[in-house]
Amino acid sequence: MAVYKAPLKDIQFVLNEVLDVSKLAKLPGYEDATPDTIHAIIEEAAKLCENVLFPLNRSGDEEGCTYENGVVRTPKGFKHAYDMFREGGWTAVTCDPEYGGQGLPATVGFALQEMFTAANQAFAMYPGLSHGAYEALSRHGSDELKKRYLPKLTDGTWSGTMCLTEPQCGTDLGLIRTRAEPEADGSHKLTGTKIFISAGEHDLTENILHLVLARLPDAPGGTKGISLFLVPKFVPKADGSVGERNGIRCGAVEHKMGIKANATCVMNLDGAKGWLVGEPNKGMAAMFVMMNAARLGVGMQGLGIAETSYQSAVAYARDRLQGRSLTGPKNAKGPADAIIVHPDVRRMLMIQKSFTEAARALSLWVGLLIDEARSHPDAATREAADDLIQMLTPIIKAHFTDMGSECANLAVQTYGGHGFIRENGVEQLVRDARITQLYEGTNGIQALDLVGRKLPMKGGRAAQRLLGEISGFVAAHKADERMKEFVEPLEKALGRVQDAALYLMQNAMKNPDEAGAAATDLLRLMALTAMAFMWNRIVVAAHKGLAAGTDNAFYEAKLATARFYMARVLPQTTSLNHQIKAGAATVMALPAEAF
């Protein structure tokens, strides 16, 4: 069976020893976010994940959502779990106290996201999407909209969605056809169809707030003519209570490969009443607030699935007796050894372990950067943090989800034939993981975003900021003999990133296909290097822990896992650099009709 226990010890290690989360309490507005407070919050969340959410993961997958006459019902237990989630204040953790939130840092939110999605990805999507709607509305909504809707999103009595995709367009949102006609009272009437709307209809909350992209009558073509509208399922009364049913309804629920307990809906708008969010024809800028948050959130789903996959694979490998160790029996009194003694099983477990631990550190670092970008009193520090966030967002979304899918498949491989059997639980992880590589922009789109937007952004300043962070670390630790085995591979990988980037600079302007052909490989090259950077930071903390002599086995395991990553994972950067420099010719040579 699949298993999950919140990795509290490792989360605390990253927060306190790798990142020094105590500095959060020095930022304006976060004075109460002390390490002890953060620890207590994460411990409580772990109980909810282990005792309430994870037990519903498989049953939710088995039952799925049901649709009848426009009504969607979530699986048994989900409504009760959501009520517990909401009453426990988990929807309000990082929201503004002005609207009833707890005002805690994004760093805490990232730690919670990992645990919630690891325990039950389909469930976690409901409040996750609501928080994305909260972020977009809080930044771009009028004071009137914020006052009316944000308290309800904060306390979780109302939920939110994002309605972008239409049957004829996904990534190319410039093709949307949904129309918004102005009304005399300042509202708009929206007509159109949206598809693939996660949590578009359900029975968890009394109202659902849809953020919908649509076109005004005089809008220019393409993405420059898109506006954003808030369209509630029920139009609120003057006193804020739920009023009349609006003209937005679920027409169908998709039958999907995975995340079956989350309702993925076709939403039909038939003269639905909506209110403009932000400026006319500026909807993409407002929606990207939600999309960027969602892309990081999807990255956390990849990490969460990887963690559950790893834990499940380890548990099975310790219990399953099969064959004998190549170096002699390790379970002499038994009929066979546990499969964890076999090198190839160890290889699979170490790939998962070396990913999850570095990914946790990288994601929590990004959480810390978000808090600095929002709250640090120094403008230069805020700017630097934002540059790093911009660079790391496509890397986290794409690499974490690619690896979440890989780790889920490795868990099935560890189980062997038993992994292919539904009752053992890990095949669900493979199915659930697959969507993370597709929604909120496919991973190929993330790679194009990295190459086409993020690398040249601000004249290349943001990219240099990230590479400078790594090179600065290398320079600071290069002379330390204890760090040599970790820093040297990192320095070489960094050189490969710079070499590949230089190749693109020299060739992509002449032939844009060069950038397209290199994009996915370059993203992975940069991701592997960023992960190696985090492993180096983990090693520094582990050396300090060993010097203190408090938990030697824990810190020695960190060093051993870092060595595996440097020796067995990071060398992929060599082949990736070669692939990038092989150019676009062989990718594009075959005529389309020859496929």
Domain CATH code at residue 181: 2.40.110.20
- 267 and 204 in one domain? yes
Strands 264-277 and 248-253, bridge-based pairing: antiparallel
- 470 and 421 in one domain? no
* pLDDT at site 286: 84
Q: How far apart are CA 10 and CA 42, in angstroms?
A: 12
Nearest to 122 by CA among 6, 257, 250, 258: 258
Q: How far apart are CA 368 and CA 385, in angstroms?
A: 9
Answer yes or no: is 180 within a domain.
yes
Q: How far apart are CA 322 and CA 330, in angstroms?
A: 12
- 302 and 184 in one domain? no
- pLDDT tens, residue by residue, 139-185: 999 999 999 999 999 999 999 999 999 999 878 887 899 999 999 99
Asked if 354 and 569 count as a contact pair (C-beta separation under 8 A), the reply is: yes
Please provide the size of the chain in residues. Answer: 595
Cα dihedral 17→19→23→25 (10° resolution): -90
- 519 and 444 in one domain? no
Q: What's the domain count of the chain?
A: 3
> Does the pLDDT of residue 502 top 90, yes or no?
yes
* pLDDT at site 293: 87
Point out the residues that are catalytic: 440
Mean predicted confidence (pLDDT) in 428-438: 98
- How far lies 237's CA from each of 149, 185, 402, in Å? 12, 15, 45
Mean predicted confidence (pLDDT) in 254-278: 97
Mean predicted confidence (pLDDT) in 47-59: 98
Q: Which two tokens stand for residue 37?
A: 């407070």
- 502 and 362 in one domain? no
- 466 and 411 in one domain? no
* pLDDT at site 273: 98
Amino acid, single-letter form, for residue 94:
T
- 374 and 299 in one domain? yes
Answer yes or no: is 43 within a domain.
no
- 304 and 181 in one domain? no
Q: Which two tokens stand for residue 30?
A: 């976060």
Element holding 324 (H helix, E strand)? none
What residues are paired with 213 via a beta bridge? 228
Per DSSP, the residues of 182-204 read E-TTS-EEEEEEEEEEETSS-SS
What is the residue range of 407's domain? 287-315+348-449
Q: Which two tokens stand for residue 338?
A: 């546990």
Q: Which of 255, 281, 307 is the last residue before a domain boundary?
A: 281
Mean predicted confidence (pLDDT) in 84-99: 98
Q: How far apart are CA 45 and CA 421, in angstroms?
A: 30
Q: How far apart are CA 329 and CA 312, in angstroms?
A: 24
* pLDDT at site 304: 98
* pLDDT at site 169: 87
- 426 and 567 in one domain? no
Mean predicted confidence (pLDDT) in 273-300: 91
Rounded to two decimals, what is the model's pTM?
0.97
pLDDT mean across residues, the chain: 96
Q: Which two tokens stand for residue 553?
A: 């086995």
- How far lies 307's CA from each of 207, 313, 319, 335, 545, in Å? 33, 10, 19, 31, 24
Q: How far apart are CA 582 and CA 595, in angstroms?
A: 21
Nearest to 257 by CA among 442, 417, 133, 437: 437
Exposure of 477 in the CB half-sphere (CA atoms within 13 A): 23
* pLDDT at site 366: 98
CA diameter of the chain: 84
Answer yes or no: is 328 within a domain.
no
Mean predicted confidence (pLDDT) in 201-228: 96
- 291 and 276 in one domain? no
Mean predicted confidence (pLDDT) in 367-384: 97
Asked if 273 and 187 count as a contact pair (C-beta separation under 8 A), the reply is: yes
Q: How far apart are CA 324 and CA 71, in angstroms?
A: 55
User: Hey, is 132 helix, strand or coil?
Assistant: helix
* pLDDT grade for 446, boundaries at 50, 70 and 90: very high
Answer yes or no: is 7 within a domain.
no
* pLDDT at site 174: 79
Answer yes or no: is 30 within a domain.
no
Answer yes or no: is 488 within a domain.
yes
* pLDDT at site 288: 81
Strands 158-163 and 207-214, bridge-based pairing: parallel
Q: How far apart are CA 98 and CA 81, in angstroms?
A: 26
* pLDDT at site 433: 98
Answer yes or no: is 93 within a domain.
no
Crossing angle of the two packed helices 457-477 and 484-507, in degrees rounded to 10: 160
* pLDDT at site 568: 98
* pLDDT at site 581: 97
- 486 and 439 in one domain? no
CA angle 67, 50, 264 (to 5 degrees): 20
User: Hey, is 62 helix, strand or coil?
Assistant: helix
- 365 and 424 in one domain? yes
* pLDDT grade for 287, boundaries at 50, 70 and 90: confident
Answer yes or no: is 329 within a domain.
no
Q: How far apart are CA 116 and CA 53, in angstroms?
A: 8
- How far lies 545's CA from each of 362, 519, 541, 550, 565, in Å? 20, 39, 6, 7, 20
Q: Which of 229, 255, 281 is the last residue before a domain boundary?
A: 281
